Each structure stands twice: as structure tokens, then as C-alpha cells.
Amino acid sequence: MDMKIKDKFIELSKKYFNNAELPITFYYSDTGEQAELVKPGSVDRCVIGALMEVRNGRCFSFNADSIGCFGGRRYLGFAERLRPDFEYFLSCGIPGRMEGERYKKSPELVREIMKKWPNLRAPRAFAVFKRWDNLSQEDDPEVVIFFAQPDVLAGLFTLVNFDESQLEGVITPMGSGCSSIVSYPYLEKDSPHPRAVIGMFDPSARPYVPKDTLSFSVPMKRFVTMIGNMEESFLITDTWKKLQKRIVVSPTKPTRNRAESARG
């Protein structure tokens, strides 16, 4: 990690986003030694729940055994399979055996959607999460993840589109909370025009974030250009100064415990 880029964003974030929460970062590692290895059962079984601690300053490394959720293992690239009968779990359930989430109308519709979902395979054995200010020279972040209130989100959305000629510099695909912050933005990184991903619309994951918070995830190489554009963008205008006055620090305390999570 280039420490000049790290320090520059911290400085500009304070200048234009007040004391809004710094992003966390994600990358794959061969050893995972850059952060504390999560042991099975030691943190919330939901990845979004576990990341609450990363947002508060801890550095975590996950491998396939660290994640207690079928969906979390898949969307971080450590498994191809979802939970058994996932098409029923996401839709109507199975009477007497499984309660469905009813996020999709029918099992048949889920099967069709599953054919279109991107398949991420972890290129290395560990997934490392660190908050931006905890990055060191040895880190190589691949995705930058914000948990942002609406005014911060508006700023990030407009900034990523600042130098983009396409109309969709940001996408909002349906998926779990962890797919929106890991698999979708990670797979965008090799695109000629990497897009950012807005997420955290998953009702099962939303209890782990404040009610006024969504996620904004972007490949690191795209984020570097965003940083370079900040001081010539709308952020220097009176229009932004009006919104900036409303930006406050949001709490990051989760609202439910690990026993209540049974995600995909």
C-alpha cells in the first residue's frame, strides 16, 4: 500500500466528509498473517456482523473455516455450494422443515437467477479486512468498502461518476450483504471500466448496520482515481458545503447477536 495515498485520503476525508466513518478494505492473502485470524465461533457467524469489529478498528483474516454461514463462504469465494435447498430458503420455504425468506416469488425463479450470479473463487487462502487507517505498506487492498449515511453516499456516488462517460458508473445488483461488498466489487476490478457497487439492501443483513446506512464498494484502482479527482470536483463547491454540514458520525453497534443469524 502506498502510504502517500493512504494519508492523502485521510486528510481529504476530514476536509470534505468531516468525521464520517473511514472505509474498510479487503484483499486476498496467501498467509493471512497481516491480520488476526478469525477462529470458528469467535465472532458473529454473519460476515457483515463480524465486520462491525473491523469498522471499529480490529483487523481480521478469514479462511474457509472462519465463516459459519454458507452464503458467506460462497460470496467470499471459499465455496461453490450454498446451503441445501437454497432455492426454497430464498423463496417460499418447505412446510414443516424450513422457513423461507420470501425474497423471491418461487424456487423456480431462484434457480434461474442462480444461473446468472457471478461465481467468485478466492485466488488465495485468506481474506483480509482492515480499516483504511490501519493499512500498512505490506497490505495490498483490492476493494474499498464504505458504510455510509445518505449524504456521504451521495458524495461517493457523484465522485465515482465525475470522470465517467458511461451512465452506470455505479450498479446495485441483488444479492446478500456480503456479495455486495466483496464478490461484486472484486469481480469489477478487472473490468476496463470498473464500477462501484451500492449494497446492504439485504433485509437479513440490515440489522448489522445503522438504519441510515448503506454500503458503497469500489475496486481499489478505481478508488485511487477518485482520490485524485477530489480537489477539482463538486466537493469544492458551495453546493457540497451545504450537505457537508449535515454529515455526522453514525454509530456502528450491531443490533442482534450471532445466534440470530442463519443466512444462506
Q: Closest by alpha carbon to 63, among 122, 140, 147?
A: 122
Q: Closest by alpha carbon to 209, among 60, 85, 46?
A: 46
Buried-state track 144-179, b at ≥16 Cβ within 10 A, e below 16: bbbbbbebbbebbebbbbeeeeeeebbeeeebbbbb
Whether 196 maps to a domain, the answer reads: yes
Whether 99 maps to a domain, the answer reads: no
Whether 87 maps to a domain, the answer reads: no
Whether 39 maps to a domain, the answer reads: yes
Alpha-carbon distance of 118 to 74, in angstroms, equals 11
Backbone phi, then psi, for 138, in 5-degree steps?
Answer: -80, -15
pLDDT at 198: 98
Domain that holds residue 133: 3-80+119-251
Residue with cell 500500500: 1
pTM equals 0.91
Asked if 173 contacts 202 with a C-beta cutoff of 8 angstroms, the reply is: no
Whether 127 maps to a domain, the answer reads: yes
pLDDT in tens, 149-173: 999 999 999 999 999 998 899 999 9
pLDDT in tens, 98-115: 999 999 999 999 999 988
What is the tally of structural domains in the chain? 1
pLDDT at 180: 96
Whether 199 maps to a domain, the answer reads: yes
Whether 247 maps to a domain, the answer reads: yes
Q: Give the mean model confidence (pLDDT) for residues 188-216.
A: 95
Whether 98 maps to a domain, the answer reads: no
Residue 262 has pLDDT above 60, yes or no: no
Q: Where are the beta strands (DSSP E) in 154-213?
A: 170-171, 196-199
